[in-house]
Amino acid sequence: MRLLLVEDEVGLAETIRDGLRIEGFTTDVMFNGVDGLWAATESPNGAYDAIVLDIMLPGLSGYEVCRQLRQRDVWTPVLMLTAKDGDYDEADGLDLGADDYLTKPFSFVVLVARLRALIRRGAPQRPVVLSAGDLRLDPARRRVTRGDDEIPVTPREFALLEFMMRHAGDVVTKTAIIENVWDAAFDGDPNIIEVYVGYIRKKIDHPYGRSAIRTVRGAGYRMDPDGG
Protein backbone atom coordinates (compact mmCIF):
# COMPACT_ATOMS: atom_id res chain seq x y z
CA MET A 1 0.00 0.00 0.00
CA ARG A 2 1.44 3.34 -1.10
CA LEU A 3 0.85 6.53 0.88
CA LEU A 4 1.70 10.20 0.47
CA LEU A 5 2.47 12.08 3.69
CA VAL A 6 2.55 15.90 3.52
CA GLU A 7 3.90 17.23 6.83
CA ASP A 8 6.28 20.16 7.41
CA GLU A 9 7.58 18.99 10.81
CA VAL A 10 10.55 16.93 9.63
CA GLY A 11 11.01 14.90 12.82
CA LEU A 12 7.32 14.01 13.04
CA ALA A 13 7.17 13.17 9.34
CA GLU A 14 10.12 10.79 9.61
CA THR A 15 8.66 9.15 12.72
CA ILE A 16 5.32 8.59 10.98
CA ARG A 17 7.03 7.28 7.85
CA ASP A 18 9.14 4.81 9.85
CA GLY A 19 6.12 3.59 11.79
CA LEU A 20 4.08 3.16 8.63
CA ARG A 21 6.89 1.19 7.02
CA ILE A 22 6.75 -1.28 9.91
CA GLU A 23 2.99 -1.59 9.29
CA GLY A 24 3.59 -2.45 5.65
CA PHE A 25 3.05 0.95 4.00
CA THR A 26 5.40 2.51 1.44
CA THR A 27 5.33 6.24 2.18
CA ASP A 28 6.54 9.22 0.15
CA VAL A 29 7.04 12.37 2.25
CA MET A 30 6.68 15.99 1.13
CA PHE A 31 7.37 18.90 3.46
CA ASN A 32 5.26 21.67 1.90
CA GLY A 33 1.94 22.09 0.16
CA VAL A 34 3.32 22.85 -3.30
CA ASP A 35 5.39 19.65 -3.43
CA GLY A 36 2.53 17.70 -1.86
CA LEU A 37 0.11 18.82 -4.58
CA TRP A 38 2.66 17.96 -7.28
CA ALA A 39 3.26 14.50 -5.82
CA ALA A 40 -0.45 13.77 -5.60
CA THR A 41 -1.18 14.84 -9.17
CA GLU A 42 1.98 14.50 -11.28
CA SER A 43 4.53 12.35 -9.46
CA PRO A 44 6.08 9.62 -11.66
CA ASN A 45 5.80 7.30 -8.64
CA GLY A 46 2.19 6.70 -9.59
CA ALA A 47 -1.14 6.88 -7.79
CA TYR A 48 -1.43 6.66 -4.00
CA ASP A 49 -3.85 4.56 -1.99
CA ALA A 50 -4.30 7.40 0.53
CA ILE A 51 -2.90 10.83 1.44
CA VAL A 52 -2.10 12.05 4.96
CA LEU A 53 -2.23 15.84 4.85
CA ASP A 54 -1.32 18.45 7.44
CA ILE A 55 -3.25 21.74 7.34
CA MET A 56 -0.63 24.30 8.38
CA LEU A 57 1.85 23.90 5.53
CA PRO A 58 4.25 26.32 3.82
CA GLY A 59 3.51 27.14 0.19
CA LEU A 60 -0.08 25.91 0.12
CA SER A 61 -2.24 25.06 3.10
CA GLY A 62 -3.66 21.58 3.45
CA TYR A 63 -7.11 23.06 2.81
CA GLU A 64 -5.94 24.46 -0.54
CA VAL A 65 -4.13 21.25 -1.49
CA CYS A 66 -7.29 19.23 -0.82
CA ARG A 67 -9.48 21.72 -2.69
CA GLN A 68 -7.21 21.63 -5.74
CA LEU A 69 -7.03 17.84 -5.70
CA ARG A 70 -10.81 17.54 -5.86
CA GLN A 71 -10.98 20.30 -8.47
CA ARG A 72 -8.61 18.25 -10.63
CA ASP A 73 -10.74 15.13 -10.15
CA VAL A 74 -8.17 13.42 -7.92
CA TRP A 75 -10.31 11.36 -5.55
CA THR A 76 -7.59 9.61 -3.54
CA PRO A 77 -8.80 9.31 0.08
CA VAL A 78 -7.42 12.16 2.23
CA LEU A 79 -6.88 12.02 5.99
CA MET A 80 -6.13 15.42 7.51
CA LEU A 81 -3.65 15.21 10.38
CA THR A 82 -3.35 18.50 12.23
CA ALA A 83 -3.05 20.40 15.49
CA LYS A 84 -6.12 22.46 14.53
CA ASP A 85 -8.84 20.82 16.63
CA GLY A 86 -11.77 23.23 16.38
CA ASP A 87 -15.15 22.03 15.11
CA TYR A 88 -15.10 24.59 12.30
CA ASP A 89 -11.56 23.54 11.30
CA GLU A 90 -12.72 19.95 10.96
CA ALA A 91 -15.88 20.98 9.13
CA ASP A 92 -13.86 23.10 6.67
CA GLY A 93 -11.57 20.17 5.90
CA LEU A 94 -14.44 17.76 5.32
CA ASP A 95 -16.37 20.30 3.23
CA LEU A 96 -13.35 20.75 0.98
CA GLY A 97 -13.21 17.03 0.25
CA ALA A 98 -11.21 15.36 3.04
CA ASP A 99 -12.42 11.89 4.02
CA ASP A 100 -11.21 11.80 7.63
CA TYR A 101 -9.65 14.09 10.23
CA LEU A 102 -7.28 13.28 13.10
CA THR A 103 -5.91 15.84 15.56
CA LYS A 104 -2.44 15.98 17.10
CA PRO A 105 -1.37 14.53 19.45
CA PHE A 106 -2.75 11.31 18.07
CA SER A 107 -2.56 7.58 18.65
CA PHE A 108 -0.45 5.88 15.99
CA VAL A 109 -2.61 2.78 16.33
CA VAL A 110 -5.68 4.87 15.50
CA LEU A 111 -3.91 6.52 12.56
CA VAL A 112 -3.07 3.13 11.04
CA ALA A 113 -6.58 1.81 11.65
CA ARG A 114 -8.15 4.83 9.97
CA LEU A 115 -5.82 4.58 7.00
CA ARG A 116 -6.66 0.91 6.53
CA ALA A 117 -10.37 1.76 6.71
CA LEU A 118 -9.98 4.53 4.11
CA ILE A 119 -8.10 2.22 1.78
CA ARG A 120 -10.70 -0.53 2.17
CA ARG A 121 -13.41 1.92 1.15
CA GLY A 122 -11.32 3.10 -1.81
CA ALA A 123 -11.53 6.41 -3.62
CA PRO A 124 -15.00 7.93 -3.33
CA GLN A 125 -17.08 8.39 -6.44
CA ARG A 126 -17.37 11.95 -7.56
CA PRO A 127 -20.75 13.38 -6.48
CA VAL A 128 -23.22 13.80 -9.33
CA VAL A 129 -23.51 17.34 -10.69
CA LEU A 130 -27.08 18.55 -10.14
CA SER A 131 -28.82 20.43 -12.91
CA ALA A 132 -32.09 22.25 -13.56
CA GLY A 133 -31.98 23.52 -17.12
CA ASP A 134 -28.79 25.56 -17.46
CA LEU A 135 -28.50 25.94 -13.67
CA ARG A 136 -25.84 23.54 -12.39
CA LEU A 137 -24.53 22.78 -8.91
CA ASP A 138 -21.35 20.74 -8.40
CA PRO A 139 -21.22 19.36 -4.81
CA ALA A 140 -17.58 18.27 -5.15
CA ARG A 141 -16.21 21.57 -6.39
CA ARG A 142 -18.75 23.66 -4.44
CA ARG A 143 -19.60 25.56 -7.64
CA VAL A 144 -22.85 27.00 -8.92
CA THR A 145 -23.19 28.06 -12.55
CA ARG A 146 -25.95 29.47 -14.74
CA GLY A 147 -24.98 28.85 -18.33
CA ASP A 148 -21.35 29.92 -18.64
CA ASP A 149 -21.49 32.19 -15.56
CA GLU A 150 -20.11 31.04 -12.21
CA ILE A 151 -22.25 32.35 -9.35
CA PRO A 152 -20.67 33.00 -5.94
CA VAL A 153 -22.79 31.78 -3.03
CA THR A 154 -22.29 31.50 0.72
CA PRO A 155 -22.10 28.05 2.39
CA ARG A 156 -25.67 28.38 3.66
CA GLU A 157 -26.98 29.47 0.27
CA PHE A 158 -25.15 26.54 -1.32
CA ALA A 159 -26.69 24.08 1.14
CA LEU A 160 -30.20 25.47 0.59
CA LEU A 161 -29.86 25.46 -3.20
CA GLU A 162 -28.42 21.92 -3.15
CA PHE A 163 -31.34 20.65 -1.06
CA MET A 164 -33.88 22.24 -3.40
CA MET A 165 -32.14 20.95 -6.54
CA ARG A 166 -32.04 17.43 -5.13
CA HIS A 167 -35.82 17.70 -4.82
CA ALA A 168 -36.47 19.55 -8.08
CA GLY A 169 -40.11 19.32 -9.09
CA ASP A 170 -41.26 18.59 -5.54
CA VAL A 171 -42.71 21.04 -3.06
CA VAL A 172 -40.39 21.31 -0.06
CA THR A 173 -41.80 22.68 3.18
CA LYS A 174 -40.12 25.13 5.52
CA THR A 175 -39.93 22.36 8.10
CA ALA A 176 -38.05 20.10 5.71
CA ILE A 177 -35.66 22.91 4.81
CA ILE A 178 -34.97 23.73 8.46
CA GLU A 179 -34.30 20.08 9.32
CA ASN A 180 -31.99 19.49 6.36
CA VAL A 181 -30.25 22.84 5.82
CA TRP A 182 -30.20 24.14 9.37
CA ASP A 183 -31.00 21.34 11.87
CA ALA A 184 -33.91 19.84 13.75
CA ALA A 185 -32.93 21.74 16.90
CA PHE A 186 -33.17 25.15 15.18
CA ASP A 187 -35.34 27.44 17.30
CA GLY A 188 -34.90 30.73 15.46
CA ASP A 189 -37.36 32.59 13.25
CA PRO A 190 -38.47 30.30 10.37
CA ASN A 191 -38.84 33.40 8.21
CA ILE A 192 -35.05 33.24 7.82
CA ILE A 193 -35.80 30.76 5.02
CA GLU A 194 -37.63 33.45 3.04
CA VAL A 195 -34.62 35.71 3.47
CA TYR A 196 -32.21 33.10 2.09
CA VAL A 197 -34.53 32.16 -0.75
CA GLY A 198 -34.52 35.85 -1.62
CA TYR A 199 -30.73 35.93 -1.57
CA ILE A 200 -30.55 32.95 -3.93
CA ARG A 201 -33.15 34.38 -6.32
CA LYS A 202 -31.13 37.58 -6.62
CA LYS A 203 -28.15 35.49 -7.75
CA ILE A 204 -29.55 32.70 -9.92
CA ASP A 205 -32.81 34.19 -11.25
CA HIS A 206 -33.14 37.98 -11.31
CA PRO A 207 -30.03 38.75 -13.39
CA TYR A 208 -31.19 36.23 -16.02
CA GLY A 209 -34.90 37.04 -16.08
CA ARG A 210 -35.67 33.54 -14.77
CA SER A 211 -37.80 32.08 -12.00
CA ALA A 212 -36.32 28.76 -10.89
CA ILE A 213 -37.62 28.87 -7.34
CA ARG A 214 -41.40 29.15 -7.09
CA THR A 215 -43.33 29.94 -3.93
CA VAL A 216 -46.21 27.54 -3.31
CA ARG A 217 -48.57 29.41 -1.01
CA GLY A 218 -49.28 27.64 2.25
CA ALA A 219 -46.91 24.79 1.38
CA GLY A 220 -43.33 25.89 0.72
CA TYR A 221 -41.12 26.17 -2.35
CA ARG A 222 -40.64 24.28 -5.60
CA MET A 223 -37.53 24.18 -7.79
CA ASP A 224 -38.42 24.18 -11.48
CA PRO A 225 -36.69 21.10 -13.01
CA ASP A 226 -36.12 23.15 -16.18
CA GLY A 227 -34.40 25.97 -14.30
CA GLY A 228 -37.15 28.54 -14.65
The model carries a pTM of 0.58
What does the mean pLDDT of the chain come to?
Answer: 87
Q: pLDDT > 90: what percent of the chain?
A: 49
DSSP state letters, the chain: -EEEEE-S-HHHHHHHHHHHHHTT-EEEEESSHHHHHHHHHH-TT---SEEEE-SS-SSS-HHHHHHHHHHTT----EEEEES---HHHHHHHHHTT-SEEEESS--HHHHHHHHHHHHHH-SPPPPPPEEETTEEEETTTTEEEETTEE----HHHHHHHHHHHHTTTSEE-HHHHHHHHS-TT--S-TTHHHHHHHHHHHHHTGGGT---EEEETTTEEEE-TT--
* Residue 43 confidence (pLDDT): 67
Mean pLDDT of 12-25: 92
* Banded pLDDT at 124 (limits 50, 70, 90): low
Is residue 206 predicted with pLDDT exceeding 70?
A: yes
Higher model confidence: residue 188 or residue 151? Answer: 151
Mean pLDDT of 173-191: 78
* Residue 184 confidence (pLDDT): 56
* Residue 112 confidence (pLDDT): 93
